[in-house]
Amino acid sequence: MPKKGTHTPLAPIGDPADSDSLYAYLRRFLEWMRVKNYAERTTENREVYLRYFISWCDERGLSRPQDITKPIIERYQRYLFHYRKPNGEPLSIRSQHTRLTPVRAYFKWLARENHILYNPASDVELPRLEKRLPKHVLTPSEVETILNLPDATTALGIRDRAILETLYSTGIRRMEVIHLNLYDLDAERGTLMVRQGKGRKDRMVPIGERALAWIGKYRDEARPELVTVNDDGTLFLTSLGEAFTRNRMTQLVREYVKAANIGKSGSCHLFRHTMATLMLENGADIRFIQAMLGHAELSTTQIYTRVSIRKLKEIHTATHPARLERTKNRAETETAQRDDATGAAERLLSTLAAEADEEAHDDAAE
């Protein structure tokens, strides 16, 4: 199986001299994605899953786009359903969905560019994804137990506490934490700028005073011990003075959750789930949570794009449990759509659970 995220050239599939093969068109499709400025991570993911499909086709003597029909794609879909991993477990519904989505995008591109007469994947129905709630959500006391584990007398301990506080306060994604830069924080306004988040979108989110205090302590006392001569401004650094990798950040957070011995497991996404859940329980309007998380949409009737950072900061201060000084003011968090709040919250948490599945799937493919 090809290794996801690798930057070394991968072996061609089928006849490398055939310029009209499925594999040859795959190379053109990937080039088109890069020209159109798709995120490199998205491009790499699509290559991985399309190589699975093209290899499956090649084993069955199907080498050209014109050879592929709707029944063949449906046959591949059944193959994914019956496939068993080395440990005997089937692919999850989300994994099946993830492998089929690039196939649909690939054939849509082939048809649009007139490389084939029609799109055989246009009417293929993808597996229906389950709407699930997060497996684990922390209580405020459990969060505090985890946050108090790092040794604040060491540079690495201060760094780790600052990372955990940032995850809990903002709910930003793992890669968004990794890519934070020193100049992305505005302590005066109590905000944090997420640059080129998922979907290559920038967004500004509020961050609590306690998290800012720990980041400031890390920046002033710990980071100077970790930084190297070639400082590119990355906020959180490893012991080698480098930016974190995805797996290293996951490992760091997971070890603290495990060490807390609270009977729950998880990593970065656990804090994302928890932040959203606790703010909802404390009365925050679903639209404000949605804006903080950077979700494109929750439903067609709930639009959040005009939410101001000032209002979002007020809601965060009023409803997030981690505060230097606790307040009980929730008057501004009342929503005119309270009758629909329960269903909207379930949809939000289901989306978070899907994100966690996607992140876990990415890690498994590393």
Terminus-to-terminus CA distance in the chain, angstroms?
11
Residues 6+ apart with CB under 8 A from 205: 170, 171, 172, 191, 192, 194, 291, 292, 294, 312
**Which among 33, 26, 107 has a CA at the least distance from the CA of 66?**
107
3-state DSSP assignment of residue 126: coil
Gap between the Cα atoms of 218 and 235, Å rounded: 9
**Which among 253, 261, 258 has a CA at the least distance from the CA of 160?**
253
Residues 6+ apart with CB under 8 A from 254: 265, 266, 267
Spell out a b/e string for 293-321, using b for 16 or more CB atoms within 10 Å of the CB, else e: bbbeebeeebebeebebebbbbbbbbbbb
**Which among 61, 49, 79 has a CA at the least distance from the CA of 15?**
61
DSSP state of 218: I
**Which among 282, 288, 279 has a CA at the least distance from the CA of 307?**
288
DSSP state of 204: E
Catalytic residue positions, numbered: 173, 198, 269, 272, 295, 304
C-beta of residue 172 within 8 angstroms of C-beta of residue 286: no
